[in-house]
Chains A and B, each alone.
Chain A
């Protein structure tokens, strides 16, 4: 090798490009705005393409390209086969390039309406958003949508890239018209900077080289701006936050808490608090494999050793003792829904925030925001790609900060508890005081005392199954037999609930969820009174049955799956409902045009094509006796 450089010189040389750190950005625009072309141009001009990649690009440009004989930069980015065939980008992809000054990570996300969730995904880790506008078309609905999502996801810097200026005669007037149109439209959204740049990505004008055709532009060109913009986040000046990931315990002499500092900084000797428990301690050591540190700041992955043993586990947040996060089980949040099964208020999801996972429900959906007009409108459920402002109720208090202050402790995802799909993303706005002020009134006469008087242990017998399967018939028999044996019972079914407590509810998915939630709450009160409660409801969704199960103590919820095949039920049709459903006279009928999710592990499964109602009731009672419920 001709050039001989020392290790230190090479490291110095390589570090230079990383000196300004890494800028993470997202590009937003539709297929037609030339977004892929822009990113391809940045990769191409920063000389990050290798000869073999260029060769493939030239070959593909001839085969699939839309740029005639020229190189189609967009083809560099469309990774997956199906997309390549359709000529569209469908998902989030990450690209990397570097200049002398800085390293860049680009989240490339699609501009199609149905893929709002992808943009939010890319924006969640981005410092800056490039919003592309076609100079011929000006500000479109999607431009406003992208800006709103960028703002909601906490991006502070916007580049308004007015592209295809070559097709708009490089007109200065047109550029200014678009810029003022944009500024007016996004007036209500606060950003640290909005930088408009006229460009032509296909030719590289004002992307990496200053355009001669647009010599009237006196602002920065894109690459300059990306290299120079100061995103030096003020995260380090925020209060110290450290979600505990993993307890490091190699032997009895060492107990450390491994995690990443997500805000602020910490030094040995600093007082800290475990936010949820309020227990305090002092940091003794900051341990890493490169030796102990004098201090650690936002972004550092370290292991903290404290001066005393306090009870700390994964999910706890260690925080500055003098500036603690909020701790509450109720808070208000913006939620972006990302799944085709709508968000249903009242349904139980798994909420994951930082390192804590906890069941949670949306208790109130205040309004949805139209991302195109920024208008608020009332909704009963949230569909995919919709954004709603909600109250969230977690099963346990969690520690958090407002998202716009500290992203990592203000962000959460909602996971479906049965399919494990990521359903939504949430940004906490503020805690709800209600949780602190409404304390449960502890009564002197307890559930146990009430039950003892009755010589039994309370339980909910939850009969679930399709309409006409025999739920009410069996429940009725069970109650009769229990009453004859001197037990104290109550029975809830569709008739006595739908005509009173729940008469405001219909049969949409959202209403079915709320119906079951209310029934659960009533059944819980009866359990508290020491009763054995039979509940006969179709209750088609697993999530709501799980919700009721969690409302009461372990062993108090007995799920009885009254099972019969649909064709048998259609034949039985005791209430004539299936005939009506088949004729289209009833809508949202479970088993027909509304789904039924069968229990996976019920306490009892009764096949009503095999067992008589009498046998079934005896089996239920035998189960209760076996479980020690009947004294």
Chain B
């Protein structure tokens, strides 16, 4: 078994035999955890066919961990869905497969095969088209083909301005569109889960978590995350001030461009040619949190798709992006 496999296997053992905590969970994390659990249970109780969108990143790791806790001793009563653009880091896929094996979870993987045939990729097609076809359209198709009526996403309100205004239970019309001007009012902890056939609700159980809360929770709960979050020597090229990791041979190198080896890590994970790395020595959770406390750039700055145009996230969301 490789190291990712060992890590997940140990995690599975820990989850299956609950023991009293060695130290109490921090007060505000306990409140956030309880809120997320309430949201997840509400979905399990009110929807016929929910699914958890699982992106393999740190937020997804926290979301999955919360689901394991929310329904214990039962397993989460819904499958996970990973929309695979075929350009994810190799470690991410290894991590996903280890989870499938050791946690006994039903993880559905959806690839937009038509997009693959058309040769859509983040390098030649550009981030906009790649995201549209391999993520947004792929997600819509996956949700439609399984007839999911509710889908959990790991988005947080502190990530980006348009997210700050989105509801926890966010209504989508039959075409998966989001209408920011026509959102259902959301009061207290009473969630309107009513939909008609074909319509769906995106549910964001991490809405009120901030980036630092995520890291602190991972630290306190000892949740396994993809090793790419930890600093290591990795081959990179620098493009427009962004460090891109050469994760496999598919990344075409420009004239005169040679990968260098730098000690880097990622604050956020997506398609590898679209995800910027940071130079860092933080190779433990403790060091990552310390680095976070002094960080001066927000995590989405490493996401090339957000920079395409002003308000780009809102546009994507209206079209059905998560």
Contacts and interface: CB of A to CB of B under 8 A. Distances in A.
Interface in A105-153: 105, 117-118, 120-121, 124-125
Interface stretch (A245-253, A516-524, A544-552, A615-623): A245-253
A288 interface: yes
Given A288-B69, A289-B68, A103 B286 contact: no
A378 interface: no
Interface stretch (B109-117, B127-135, B187-195, B253-261): B187-195
B282 A1 contact: yes
> What secondary structure prevails in chain A residues at the interface with B?
mixed
A80 interface: yes
Contacts of B30: 299-300
A81 interface: yes
Interface string B255-298: 00000000000000000000000000110011101110001111
A90 B179 CA distance: 13
A8 B220 CA distance: 9
A19 B30 CA distance: 12
Given A259-B41, A291-B18, A93 B164 contact: yes
A288 B18 contact: yes
Interface string B15-40: 10011110100111111011001100
Given A5-B290, A260-B34, A124 B187 contact: yes
A354 B15 CA distance: 30
B45 A246 contact: yes
Interface string A73-93: 000011111101000001111
A314 interface: yes
A245 B42 contact: yes
Interface stretch (B86-94, B118-126, B145-153, B154-162): B154-162
Contact of A79 (B19, B45, B164, B297): B164
B37 A301 contact: yes
B69 A355 contact: no
Nearest to A123: B187
A258 interface: yes
Contact of B73 (A98, A287, A415): A287
A601 to B, nearest CB: 12
B200 interface: no
A91 B194 contact: no
Contacts of B281: 1
Interface in B67-83: 68-75
B71 A258 contact: yes
Nearest to A260: B38
B73 A301 contact: no
Contact of A121 (B15, B68, B186): B186
Q: Which of the listed residues B29, B41, B185 has the most CB atoms from chain A within 10 Å of its own CB?
A: B185
Nearest to B180: A80
Q: Which of the listed residues A8, A338, A421 has the most CB atoms from chain B within 10 Å of its own CB?
A: A421
A10 interface: yes
Interface residues on B, range: 35 or more
Given A80-B165, A289-B18, A290-B20, A3 B208 contact: no
Given A19-B27, A246-B41, A421 B162 contact: no
A6 interface: yes
B74 A422 contact: no
A81 B42 CA distance: 32
B45 A81 contact: no
Nearest to B189: A408
Contact of B187 (A77, A96, A121, A248): A121
B195 A420 contact: yes
B298 A301 contact: no
Given A287-B72, A289-B15, A413-B187, A6 B194 contact: no
A80 B164 CA distance: 10
A448 B120 CA distance: 69
Contacts of B31: 21-22, 299
Given A11-B216, A420-B196, A249 B74 contact: yes
A7 B194 contact: no
Nearest to A417: B194
A407 interface: yes
Given A289-B72, A353-B190, A1 B184 contact: no
A463 interface: no
B314 interface: yes
B162 to A, nearest CB: 5
A355 B45 contact: yes
Interface in B179-238: 180-181, 183-190, 192, 194-196, 207-208, 210, 212, 216, 219-220
A14 B26 contact: yes
Contacts of A6: 286
Q: Which of the listed residues B44, B161, B195, B290 has the most CB atoms from chain A within 10 Å of its own CB?
A: B161
A94 B192 contact: no
A21 B28 contact: yes
A457 B256 CA distance: 89
Nearest to A300: B34
B179 to A, nearest CB: 11
A250 B289 contact: no
A411 interface: yes
Contact of A420 (B20, B38, B194, B287): B194
B175 interface: no
B106 interface: no
A401 B23 CA distance: 36
A53 B298 contact: yes
B32 to A, nearest CB: 8
Given A19-B27, A412-B190, A301 B162 contact: no
Interface string A397-436: 0000000000110011101000011100100000000000
Nearest to A117: B185
A10 B286 contact: yes
B20 A291 contact: yes
A7 B285 contact: yes
A482 to B, nearest CB: 37
Interface string A8-28: 101100110011011000000
Contact of B162 (A79, A118, A411, A420): A79
A513 interface: no
Contacts of B189: 125, 260, 408
Nearest to B14: A289
A7 B291 CA distance: 14
B192 A420 contact: yes
B219 A1 contact: no
B287 A1 contact: yes
B301 interface: yes
Contacts of A245: 38, 41-42, 45
A216 interface: no
B287 A94 contact: no
Q: Which of the listed residues A14, A53, A81 has the most CB atoms from chain B within 10 Å of its own CB?
A: A14
B162 A80 contact: yes
Contacts of B194: 350, 415, 420
A3 B282 CA distance: 11
A313 to B, nearest CB: 10
Nearest to A81: B311
B5 to A, nearest CB: 23
Contacts of B185: 117-118, 120-121, 338, 413, 422, 425
A10 B290 contact: yes
Contacts of B18: 288-291
23 contacts: A3-B290, A7-B285, A7-B286, A10-B219, A11-B26, A14-B216, A18-B27, A52-B297, A52-B301, A79-B162, A79-B164, A80-B180, A81-B314, A91-B165, A91-B183, A98-B210, A245-B45, A246-B41, A246-B71, A290-B18, A353-B190, A415-B192, A420-B194
Given A7-B286, A95-B158, A289-B72, 8 more contacts: A14-B26, A80-B311, A91-B165, A95-B164, A124-B188, A125-B189, A250-B73, A338-B185
Q: Which 9 residue pairs are nearest across A and B when measured between Cβ atoms?
A: A18-B28, A79-B161, A420-B194, A289-B72, A289-B69, A50-B298, A124-B187, A301-B37, A250-B74
